[in-house]
Amino acid sequence: MRFGILSTAHIALDAFVPGVARTEHDVAAIASRDAERAADAAAAHDIPDSYGNYEALLDADVDAVYNPLPNGLHAEWTRRAADAGLPVLCEKPLTRDAHEARDVIEHCADRGVTLMEAFMYRYHPRTERVRALLADMGDVVSASATFGFPLRGSPDDVRLDPGLAGGSLMDVGCYPVNALRTLVADPDAVTATTFDSRDCGVDTRLAGTFEYAGGARATLRCWFDAPEHQRYRIETTDGWIEASPAFNVAADAPAELRYAVDGRTVTESFEPVDQYAREAEHFADCVESGMTPRTSGEDALANMRVIDALYEAAATGERVAP
């Protein structure tokens, strides 16, 4: 598969391009609104073609599009890629809200193209191991998931721009939301509080709670204002399981998983894995076979519904059902 990349975002150049290089697929083209920036990125990463606008990339000799644009632009350019008949691997979160997500999903379905959300941690073998272990453990009693880091640099950072759907929940908090949904269940109701420490119009910190009908509770936290931390932990009636760092595991780093069942504590180690390579391979397989991606549009929609509910709960101070 020949990928075309929309934008020179850091996640594209520092993670996705090296990941694809570890597969049988290729990055064939990259585009930016700045032609010189696109050309420099192409030269630095051995990408054959570069373009000074996004429209040109959609007409280029590519088989699929990777969309790492700012959140607020995901929907527009995913739809436009679908109009060009190109499958889309779109960075998380898929859109700015659930209504927009539903529109994008239907648009891609109408055009007959594969749509997949790029939650790379879902393609690490540790994540699948966690799911398998939980299937044999007791009922979930409580859970927690956290992802935060210190966002430094320009106040013009797109992650601080409300017009581009910035905010800590949209940028990193979507990972804990996805992890709790994937490993526990979709919540029956949520509560949340937010704080804008930079007076920029978006949340720079969020704390939320998931409520489940059976009495279980889960908490999530995300931020731009404290040292990096990423972790999830799930408590069951007969043990617990936890992973740290939970989401952004470097391609050359091993990963660990700790758990306890019936008083027996275990640490499992996983050899280094490039999550982005596995993500790209899964996407290409889905395009070729027509199977539904693990992180499908429908899964992205479910994630956006919970994110919308967290924001509504924070704004109203009420419990909200997604």
Output the pLDDT for position 182.
98
- Interhelix angle for 297-316 vs 98-111, to 10°? 170
User: Residue 262 has what pLDDT?
Assistant: 87
Cβ neighbors of 10 (< 8 A, separation 6 or more) are none
For residue 245, say if its preceding peptide bond is cis, omega within 30 degrees of 0: yes
Predicted confidence at residue 28, as pLDDT, reads 98
Range of the domain at 72: 2-120
153 and 227 assigned to the same domain: yes
The answer to whether the beta carbons of residues 61 and 72 sit under 8 Å apart is: no
pLDDT at position 200 is 96
Give the CA radius of gyration of the chain: 19
pLDDT tens digit sequence for 225-252: 999 999 999 999 999 999 999 999 999 9
Percent of the residues in the chain that have a pLDDT greater than 90, as a whole number = 98
| 108 pLDDT above the threshold of 90 | yes
- 81 shares a domain with 108: yes
Clarify whether residues 83 and 152 are in a common domain.
no
H helix intervals, the chain: 10-11, 17-21, 35-44, 54-58, 74-83, 98-111, 125-135, 168, 174-183, 275-289, 297-316
Q: Could you give the CA distance from residue 58 to residue 77 in angstroms, rounded to a whole number?
A: 10
* Residue 258 predicted with pLDDT over 90: yes
Domain boundary among 89, 120, 151: 120
Q: Is the pLDDT of residue 54 over 90?
A: yes
Upstream peptide bond of 93 is cis (omega within 30 degrees of 0): yes
How far is it, in rounded angstroms, from Cα 161 to Cα 313? Answer: 21
Residue 295 included in any domain = no
End of a domain among 100, 120, 140?
Answer: 120
Structural domains of the chain, count: 2
Do 116 and 126 reside in the same domain of the chain? no
What is the C-alpha to C-alpha distance for residues 12 and 283, in angstroms, rounded to an integer?
16
Q: What is the mean pLDDT of the chain?
A: 97
Classify residue 212: in a domain, yes or no.
yes
Flag whether 322 is in a domain.
no
Residue at a domain's end among 120, 154, 172:
120
pLDDT confidence of residue 153: 79
Residue 196 lies in a domain: yes
Return the percentage of the chain with pLDDT > 70, whole number: 100
Q: Do residues 182 and 312 both lie within one domain?
A: yes
pLDDT digits (tens, 9 = 90+) for 171-198: 999 999 999 999 999 999 999 999 999 9
The CB density around residue 51, as the number of other CB atoms within 10 Å, is: 22
> Domain with 67 in it: what CATH number?
3.40.50.720
Residue 134 has pLDDT above 90, yes or no: yes
Q: What is the pTM of this model?
A: 0.97
In a domain, 284, yes or no: no
Asked whether residue 138 falls in the same domain as residue 232, the answer is: yes
Per-residue pLDDT band at 136 (split at 50, 70, 90): very high
| pLDDT tens-digit series, residues 306-315 | 999 999 999 9
User: What mean pLDDT do residues 271-283 have?
Assistant: 98
